[in-house]
């Protein structure tokens, strides 16, 4: 498969369909995102273009500027056409970023690749393929029900005790936020004193992480980067996964599928009515 990706990347670059390919590069005994440019050495570097389960997504938010790497690139060279090797979650991130005015999809050509069954299992990914599938075979999604069911089977006091334990581990690294493609606010509420105490460990429970649970609720594309970034293994994804379901349930909405589909939180009840009356998740 990797040969197909390299070949296609070469073709795109040589035919000038794109000016650069954004993908993973083998380096220093690992892999890291890299921009393979159309210049001669860029093309010859394509031998190092690779995929890896480590970085399934490439377009991270850069701090301290708080811009997505793609928006930084596009702002720098607005006319550059970038090809990007994208798995399902990456494509969903791109769609959601475009929807929210962060990137210009017109200038991006997606080389969609499918994840293998194992890869999908590792992530418990419900949609291990992009809409624009170009390379690879589409496999069925895997359900992440276990964790969710385990949580939902608990009583309210048990859930509180569970989260109290988990959230007490938090060392306020903001790694979950930093890893999330959807966290690009310049003025993050998680940093603001009026919302959550600053300088204390563990951070205010549950306020600190609630901010992200709520803010990302309707835009989460389920990539799992937040949970993977957490140094103390807090099961953040359990909540985000469930919220993705809730969005379907409440608003018939799914993030990351189509740019035209507007966020239900930005529309009126007339434009996108709620499917159910306000019900609790209990």
Partner 1 sequence: MEYKNVLTTCPYCGCGCNFYLQVLDGKLIGILPCKSHPVSQGKLCIKGLNAGDFVTSKDRLTKPLIKRNGKFTDISWDEALFLVAKKLKEYKESYGPDSIAVLSSAKCTNEENYLMMKFARAVLGTNNVDHCARLCHASTVVGLVQSFGSGAMTNSIRELEDADCILVIGSNTPEQHPLIARYILRAKEKGAKIIVADPRSITLVQFADYHLRHRPGTDVALFNGMMNVILNEGLEDKEFIKERTEGIEELKEVVKKYTPEYVEQITGVPKDILVDAARTYAKAERASIIYSMGITQHTTGVDNVRSSANLAMLTGNLGKPSTGVNPLRGQVNVQGACDMGALPNVYSGYQNVVDEKAREKFGNAWKVKLPEKPGLTIIEMMNEAAKGNIKAMYIMGENPMVSDPDISHVKEGLEKLEFLVVQDIFLTETAQLADVVLPGACYAEKEGTFTSTERLVQMVRKAIEPPGESKADWEIICSLAKAMGSKEFEYVSPAEIMDEIASFTLSYGGMSYDRLQKGGLAWPCPSKEHPGTPYLHKEKFSRANGKGKFFGIEFKEPAELPDEEYPFILSTGRIIFHFHTGTMTRRTELLNKEVPTGYVEIAHIDAARLGIGAGEFVSVQTRRGQIKTKALITERVPEGMIFIPFHFAECAANVLTNPAFDPVAKIPEYKVCAARIEKVKVS
Partner 2 sequence: MAEFEPKILAFCCNWCSYAGADLAGVSRLQYPPNIRIIRVMCSGRVEPEFVVKALSLRADGVLILGCHIGDCHYIYGNHRTKKRMAILERILGYLGIDPARVRLEWVSASEGARFAEVVRQFTEEIKKLGPNPLKEVRA
- Mark the segment that binds ligand SF4 (CB under 6 A) among 3-11, 14-22, 70-78, 170-178: 170-178
Say how far apart CA 142 and CA 206 lie, in whole Å. Answer: 30
Shortest CB 102 distance to ligand SF4, Å: 13
Nearer to partner 1, 199 or 281 (CB): 199
CB 207 within 8 A of CB 215: no
| x-or-dash string of contact with ligand SF4, 212-231, rule CB under 6 A | ----x---xxxxxxx--xxx
Nearer to partner 1, 194 or 282 (CB): 194
Say how far apart CA 41 and CA 34 lie, in whole Å. Answer: 13
Q: Classify the C-alpha dihedral 27-28-34-35 as positive or negative.
A: negative
**DSSP 8-state symbol, 189:** G
Shortest CB 103 distance to partner 1, Å: 15
Helices (H), the chain: 2-14, 40-44, 69-76, 88-99, 117-123, 145-152, 156-168, 175-179, 207-216, 225-229, 236-251
Q: Does residue 37 interact with partner 1 by CB under 8 A?
A: yes
Q: Does residue 179 interact with ligand SF4 by CB under 6 A?
A: yes
Phi and psi torsions of 68, nearest 5°: -70, 145
Nearer to partner 1, 179 or 255 (CB): 179
Say how far apart CA 232 and CA 165 lie, in whole Å. Answer: 11
Residues at the contact surface with ligand SF4, assessed by CB under 6 A: 170-176, 179-182, 209, 216, 220-226, 229-232, 234, 237, 240
Residues at the contact surface with partner 2, assessed by CB under 8 A: 151, 154, 156-164, 189, 195, 204-207, 210-211, 213-214, 217-218, 238-239, 242-243, 246, 250-251, 264-265, 268-270, 274, 278-282
């Amino acid at each position: 498969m990797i040969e197909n990706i390299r070949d296609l990347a070469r073709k795109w670059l040589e035919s000038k369909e794109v000016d650069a390919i954004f993908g993973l590069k083998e380096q220093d005994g690992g892999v890291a995102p890299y921009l393979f440019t159309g210049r001669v050495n860029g093309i010859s570097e394509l031998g190092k273009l690779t995929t890896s389960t480590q970085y399934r997504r490439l377009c991270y938010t850069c701090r301290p500027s708080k811009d997505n790497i793609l928006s930084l690139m596009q702002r720098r060279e607005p006319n550059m056409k970038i090809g990007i090797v994208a798995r399902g979650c990456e494509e969903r991130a791109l769609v959601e970023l475009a929807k929210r005015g962060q990137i210009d999809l017109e200038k991006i050509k997606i080389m969609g690749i499918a994840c293998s069954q194992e890869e999908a299992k590792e992530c418990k990914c419900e949609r291990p393929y992009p809409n624009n599938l170009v390379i690879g075979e589409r496999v069925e999604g895997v359900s992440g029900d276990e964790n969710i069911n385990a949580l939902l089977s608990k009583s309210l006091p048990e859930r509180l005790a569970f989260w109290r334990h988990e959230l007490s581990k938090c060392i306020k690294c903001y790694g979950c936020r930093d890893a999330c493609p959807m966290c690009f606010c310049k003025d993050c509420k998680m940093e603001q004193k009026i919302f959550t105490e600053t300088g204390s460990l563990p951070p205010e429970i549950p306020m600190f992480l609630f901010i992200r649970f709520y803010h990302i609720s309707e835009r989460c594309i389920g990539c799992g980067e937040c949970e993977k970034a957490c140094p103390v293994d807090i099961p953040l994804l359990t909540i985000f996964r469930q919220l993705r379901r809730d969005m379907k349930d409440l608003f018939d909405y799914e993030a990351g599928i189509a740019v035209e589909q507007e966020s239900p939180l930005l529309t009126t009840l007339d434009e996108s009515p709620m499917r159910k009356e306000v019900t609790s998740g209990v």
